[in-house]
Amino acid sequence: MDLSSSTLCPQNLTKPYFISFHKQPHIRSHLQFQTPPKTLTLDPKFTITGGCKLSGHVPISGSKNSALSILAATLCCSGTSKLHGVPNLSDTRTMASILRSLGAEIEACNGEMWVNADGVGSVEPCPEDIGKIRGGFFVIGPLLARFGEAVVALPGGCDIGTRPVDLYIRGLRALGAIVELGDGKVRAQAANGRGLVGGRFKLDHPSVGATETLMMAACMADGVTVLSNVAKEPEVIDLARFLTGSGACVEGAGSDTLYIKGKNQLHGSECVVPPDRIEAGTFMLAAAITRSSISMSPVIPSHVACLIDKLLAAGCKITCAHDTLEVSAVPDDVGHNLQGFDVRTCPFPGFPTDLQPQTMVLLTTCDGSSIVEETVFENRMGHVRELQKLGARIRVCGSTAVICGKEKGSALLSSHVVAKDLRGGVSLVLAGLAAEGVTEISGIAHIDRGYENLDAKLRLLGADIKRLIPLASPL
């Protein structure tokens, strides 16, 4: 299917919504880091006619979470940083807006982004933008390291738990900052007007964001910093690679302990944002849920190793060649229905919490009953109610869910459901692909935060999914 030839069909007009194919004509669209037109701020919807088999190849975009932390790190650098493969998402656009609110200059085109933070003259980023995404809060580290001061509003992001910032605060204090929390803002200042100083800090929990924020702060602190019990996620390694390329001295990324020797100054550098492992995992699960066969690239197989193991155990066929991964769950290939499996989410290299809702959908289509235990976020079961509306038989007790497979009573049927957060929202899309009838999903702004052209990519694979955009009322 040639996406660029998709046109707006007048017969598809359904008031007060219209169906938009032309909004996303290319998989790699130009990055437009501007305020979207008013119509797009209204609540768009997806409608999905389930039952289509998927086939073909899908391109995987750059990692959202890596892009967000690397963008924050450009604040540490003098001169221009050039990033390739930045996904065009509302979250990356919000991050660009946060950097601009501080005085950084940004240009973006076709997945490339140039950031120059030489003109940064403020230490207080736009609080409204910080309130939209968790990653916005990460700028507290670079700002404090470079200017000795930062005032950052408490962050937003998906409503999946209390998501405190205590580890950030205690970690920054260990680097010599005076940090206070009040009026919804964190105010931090390097003690006695001097810069940060190297120190030792052990995280109670390997928080990804706290690890990244403290790593950025320590890169410009005076002396050596040792951070232990840190996150080992690939995104932490991506950030360390960017910082090292910019002149920082970071060792141990990917292990439990980071050793960082502070430098007075970092310089802009060039980097490629690695592929998004959660997007790849979502498409792998889409293939399994629809009993289809698709390939995708680029993928770093070790980043999705946990999911590969589970899908193999369920009965899928998976092949990897270089950076291309193929997943088949076609009955002719696998010969029987897929078998359910249990999942316990954990920090990397464990099963990613960001794939938990999508995996739950697959389990409703498998044989047997399965147990999903969420251990990273205390309130990440919000999608279950919506999946139940689609016919999923799931029982939740605290952070554990028991999922009945197909012959135990789950039967995905169409309904109108609402996306309440990013990954829970995309799980509804996957359920809609397998459900009988037409599923309508509202609240898809949550999904647009983290999936670049999701509907266009699914159409490329043969799915029947439409984006309905409300028409603005006449003034």
- Which of the residues are catalytic? 158
Nearer CB in complex with ligand UD1: 66/292: 66
Q: C-beta of 380: minimal distance to ligand UD1 in Å?
A: 9
Cβ neighbours around 15 below 10 Å, total = 7
Q: How far is the CB of 12 from ligand UD1 (least distance, A)?
A: 35
Q: Which of residues 207-246 bind ligand UD1 (CB under 6 A)?
A: 207-210, 231, 235
**Closest distance between ligand UD1 and the C-beta of residue 422, in Å?**
8
The one-letter amino acid at 462: G
Using the rule CB under 6 A, give the single segment among 122-130, 191-199, 200-208, 301-309 that binds ligand UD1.
200-208
CB of 444 to ligand UD1, least distance (A): 18
**Nearer CB in complex with ligand UD1: 283/348:** 348
In the bound complex, what is the minimum distance in angstroms from residue 337's beta carbon to ligand UD1? 30
- What is the phi-psi region of residue 111: left when phi exceeds 0, alpha when psi lies from -120 to 50, beta otherwise? left
Shortest separation between residue 377's beta carbon and ligand UD1, angstroms: 5
For ligand UD1, the closer CB: 44 or 135:
135
Q: Which stretch binds ligand UD1 (CB under 6 A): 143-151, 203-211, 310-318, 404-412?
A: 203-211
Q: What is the 3-state secondary structure (H, E, C) of the chain?
A: CCHHHCCCCHHHCECCEEECCCCCCCCCCCCCCCCCCHHHHCCCEEEEECCCCCEEEEECCECHHHHHHHHHHHHHEECEEEEECCCCCHHHHHHHHHHHHHCCEEEEECCEEEEECCCCCCCCCCHHHHCCCHHHHHHHHHHHHHHCEEEEECCCCCCCCCCCCHHHHHHHHHCCEEEEEECCEEEEEEHHHCCCECCEEECCCCCHHHHHHHHHHHHCCECEEEEECCCCCHHHHHHHHHHHHCCCEEECECECEEEEECCCCEECCEEECCECHHHHHHHHHHHHHCCCEEEEECCCHHHHHHHHHHHHHHCCEEEEECCEEEEECCHHHHCCCCECCCEEECCCCCECHHHHHHHHHHHHCCECEEEEECCCCCCCCCHHHHHHHCCCCEEEECCEEEEECHHHCCCCECCEEECCCHHHHHHHHHHHHHCECEEEEECCHHHHCCCCCHHHHHHHCCCEEEEEEECCCCC
344 binds ligand UD1 (CB under 6 A): no
Among 111, 135, 199, 262, the residue binding ligand UD1 under the rule CB under 6 A is 135
Looking at the Cβ atoms of 378 and 407, the one nearer to ligand UD1 is: 378
Residue showing the smallest CB distance to ligand UD1 in the complex: 209
**Quick one: 56 or 164, whose CB is closer to ligand UD1?**
164
Name which of residues 26 to 85 contact ligand UD1 (CB under 6 A): 65, 68
Please name every residue paired with 463 in a beta bridge, in sequence order, or none if there are none.
none
In angstroms, give the least distance from the CB of 259 to ligand UD1.
21
Query: Contacting ligand UD1 (CB under 6 A), which of 238, 276, 354, 421?
Result: 354
- Count other Cβ atoms within 10 Å, centred on residue 333: 12
How far is the C-alpha of 77 from the C-alpha of 239, rounded, in Å?
13
Asked if residue 353 binds ligand UD1 (CB under 6 A), the reply is yes
The site string for ligand UD1 over 411-450 (x = CB under 6 A, - otherwise) reads ----------------------------------------
Q: How many CA atoms lie within 13 A of 24 on its CB side?
A: 22
Q: How many CB atoms lie within 10 A of CB 235?
A: 26
Torsion angles phi and psi, residue 10, rounded to 5: -60, -35
Q: How many residues bind ligand UD1 (CB under 6 A)?
A: 23
Among 95, 376, 441, 461, binds ligand UD1 (CB under 6 A): 376
**Closest separation in Å from C-beta 13 to ligand UD1:** 37
Site string for ligand UD1, 153-172 (x = CB under 6 A): --------xxxxxxxx----
Q: Give the dihedral of Cα atoms 111, 292, 235, 41; nearest 10 deg.
A: 50
**Residue (30 or 200) nearer to ligand UD1, CB:** 200
Question: Which of residues 84 and 205 has its CB atom nearest to ligand UD1 in the complex?
Answer: 205
Shortest CB 99 distance to ligand UD1, Å: 15
Q: Which residues contact ligand UD1 (rule: CB under 6 A)?
A: 65, 68, 134-135, 161-168, 205, 207-210, 231, 235, 353-354, 376-377
